[in-house]
Amino acid sequence: MTIKQLLKSIVFLVLFGFLSLSLTYCLRTNGSVKDRMAGFYAEKKNTLDAVIIGSSPVFPYYIGPKMFADEGIVCYPVSTNLQRPAAQRYLTEEVLSRQAPKLFIYEVRMYTGREEYLLENMAYTRGVTDNMQYSVNRLKTIGALLDQSGLEYVSADSDVKKYTYWFDLFKYHSNYRSLYLLSQWKTWRFSVPDPLKGYQGMSTVAPCTFADVSGVTETEPIPAVQEKRLVELLDYLRDRGQDALFVVSPFNASADEMKMFNYIGEIVRGKGYAFLNMNTEMAAIGLDPGTDFGDYGTHVNAKGAEKVTAYFEHFLKEDFDLPDRRGDSTYASWQQSAEYWKTEHGKMLAEIAAHIEEGSFAEKDAEAE
């Protein structure tokens, strides 16, 4: 092979790799998770002061644009549906590859789930790995999430071929019909600003009745695998000298769940980190189970999110002294998002009010967390 032929081969391979990567990003399933994660990658480097990592008790609860409008807090959710606890350590590394947040916030509701059950549907794994940019850390994340050692039984799901995770074009090549959407072509770098900074509000209403579990003080161990993941994450944060807060977003929790949250709290505080279980703060937050939840107690709607965010942003400002970025031109996109959210929020509140007046409530088969 001549030098000219070698150069042509190199150029071809580079071009082929670039086009394959871009096509993969475009073909990944569109939706709110893709928008949120691509939005994270679009944020200017080293501008996020706080990041919330967790499952679906994150993106409908904590309104980043409102936090900015009220307190100047710049906080972005790195959140996917049914996010397995094993992913939190690696998503932390992913954030640190681009940002230097003063505070990491972890939603821990999923730590009460058995890992074997979470592996029965590999969408819970792909929700993370197929919404990351290609990198060495992504390969590490795939390896960690596909590792089933130490579990009581191994998933029988056929979708465990590693190469389909490493190169998810194998999984999504049949999505070619989605390319008629301009929004899909925009994701060729998997970096597209999210106008609501990762927030996804709900306008449904689903009245429910909560049992008073605020007085539950006993503890109950969480699954051993999840405890191991939690301790590993805490040790990782401590070794880096990284400040962190662990939270439980308010929902219709049972007494047994509260006991497990108490157990998590003991582990977290024992490692020197803050823990906030907002199920004990329902009165302070002002949540109304008759109007503020969108799916019968599992997730808040936009009305409830406004209350949760108001409580949470005050807690962050008081306990973690996050900077006020309002007026800083670097954060102009956050000011724009705050204005956009106010308009969209008004629409959602009007829809919620109409549902309440008409008694038109959500279906009871809404997706769980």
What is the per-residue burial (b if ≥16 Cβ within 10 Å, else e) of 134-143? eeebbeebbe
Predicted pLDDT of residue 300: 97
14 has a pLDDT exceeding 80: no
Mean of pLDDT values over 338-364 = 94
16 has a pLDDT exceeding 80: no
* pLDDT tens readout for residues 232-276: 999 999 999 999 999 999 999 999 999 999 999 999 999 999 999
The model's pTM is 0.94
Residues 107, 247: contact at Cβ < 8 Å?
Answer: yes
Predicted pLDDT of residue 264: 98
Predicted pLDDT of residue 134: 96
What is the per-residue burial (b if ≥16 Cβ within 10 Å, else e) of 80-107? bbbbbbbbbbbbbebbeeebebebbbbb
Mean of pLDDT values over 118-142 = 92
Mean of pLDDT values over 335-353 = 97
* Residue position matching structure tokens 């959140």: 79
Residues 75, 48: contact at Cβ < 8 Å?
Answer: yes
Predicted pLDDT of residue 66: 98
184 has a pLDDT exceeding 90: yes
HEC profile of the chain: CCHHHHHHHHHHHHHHHHHHHHHHHHHCCCCHHHHHHHHHHHCCCCCCCEEEEECCCCCCCCCHHHHHHHHCCCEEEEECCCCCCHHHHHHHHHHHCCCCCCEEEEECHHHHCCHHHHCCCCHHHHHHHCCCCCCHHHHHHHHHHHCCCCCCCCCCCCCCCHHHHHCCHHHHHHHHHHHHCHHHHHHHHCCCCCCCCCCCCCCCCCCCCCCCCCCCCCCCCCCHHHHHHHHHHHHHHHHHCCEEEEEECCCCCCHHHHHHHHHHHHHHHHCCCEEEEHHHCHHHHCCCCCCCECCCCCCECHHHHHHHHHHHHHHHHHHHCCCCCCCCHHHHHHHHHHHHHHHHHHHHHHHHHHHHHHCCCCCCCCCCC
Q: Enter the tokens of residue 364.
A: 């009871």
pLDDT band at 366 (very low <50, low <70, confident <90, very high): very low
Mean of pLDDT values over 40-50 = 98
* pLDDT tens readout for residues 98-114: 999 999 999 999 999 98
Taken in order 292, 294, 298, 303, the sign of the CA dihedral is negative
* pLDDT tens readout for residues 288-325: 999 999 999 999 999 999 999 999 999 999 999 899 99
| Mean pLDDT (the chain, rounded) | 92
Please, which residues have CB within 8 angstroms of residue 43's CB and are 6 or more apart in sequence? 76, 98, 99, 193
Residues 115, 226: contact at Cβ < 8 Å?
Answer: yes
Mean of pLDDT values over 72-79 = 98
Q: Enter the tokens of residue 338.
A: 């705050």
The percent of residues above 90 in pLDDT, for the chain, comes to 78
Torsion of CA 178, 29, 122, 244, to 10 degrees: 180
152 has a pLDDT exceeding 70: no
pLDDT band at 159 (very low <50, low <70, confident <90, very high): low
Least confidently predicted of 7-11, 73-77, 166-170:
7-11
Q: Whole-angstrom Cα distance, residue 25 to residue 17? A: 12
153 has a pLDDT exceeding 80: no
